[in-house]
Chains A and B, each alone.
Chain A
Amino acid sequence: MSDTSDAPAVDNALQKFRDMLAKDGYDLSWAPSSADAGNVVVRIEAGPDACEDCLVPQPVMESIMSQALAETSYGLERVELPAEH
């Protein structure tokens, strides 16, 4: 069972990144990890107008989101991309 009591803080921490991804046509969502209640899983999904080549590289994404989540009580478990290359 995952605790989301700090959900607003996570939303707030990831908002800037959500806005940035939206400019390239991607949506960001997150959910508490089922394996570790202290971590979250971030999912990136391509919208209908997503620029395929524009998506932030995974290492950069993970770095940004890890730093953003450091302000909350959660850590980053992983980022799920539309498709791995």
Chain B
Amino acid sequence: MGVGIIDPTRSGATPAASRASDAPRPDSLHGLRVGLLENGKRNAAAVLDAVGAELSGRHGAEQLVPRTKHQFAMPLPDELVEELTGICDVVVIGVGDCGSCSASAVADGIRLENIGLPTAVICTDAFAQTSAAMAELQGDPEHPYLLTEHPIANLGAGSIAARAGDLADRVARRLTTARAAEVA
């Protein structure tokens, strides 16, 4: 069986050798437009929607902007990057629950940060290594992606809600706290 390998490190935006850095952070999510960029994997949209609901309910987000990255292993299309920067103040990206999509999610997060859009990237803990390796390849070895327990694809509605409850506070902190000030 032939298998084509996709390389999301080949993004048009961020040279791997450049030093990536975080976008400036807002003080809070109150009144902000929060992008929810799901990658089409099973339950990714449900998890991000549930996180978004928490960000609205408990953290004051004004508007949730759901968007789908239709090819989870590929870099973000330029058109989608342009749209996100125009209609969102911050973006939540997820869920990286496989080798290629975890690497790609981290690459996407770093790309958006480099053009001034704060992000919170969510991957599952089974793919921490690929997330870390991609962060290093993209010039941001300390990139603070968020990990959640693997898997998420088989979660029911109740479990998704519980998972989102745990993630939402961490997402909010990531979106509003400068990296040097983050508590480990």
Q: Is B9 an interface residue (CB 8 A)?
A: yes
How distant is A77 from chain B, measured CB to nearest CB, in Å? 18
Bin chain B's interface residue count.
20 to 34
Q: Is B59 an interface residue (CB 8 A)?
A: no
Cβ-defined contact, A58 with B5, below 8 A:
yes
Q: Mark B1-31, 1 if CB is under 8 A from A, else 0.
A: 1111111110000000000000000000000
**The stretch of B44-52, B85-93, B131-139, B172-180 that contacts the partner chain:** B131-139
Q: Is A52 an interface residue (CB 8 A)?
A: yes
Between A50, A53, A60, the greatest number of chain B beta carbons within 10 A of the residue's beta carbon is seen for: A60
Cβ-defined contact, A60 with B6, below 8 A:
no
Q: Is A16 an interface residue (CB 8 A)?
A: yes
Cβ-defined contact, B130 with A60, below 8 A:
yes
Q: Is B145 an interface residue (CB 8 A)?
A: no
Cβ-defined contact, A54 with B133, below 8 A:
no
Q: Which residues of B contact A (CB under 8 A)?
A: 1-9, 72-73, 98-101, 103, 126-127, 129-130, 133-134, 136-137, 150-151
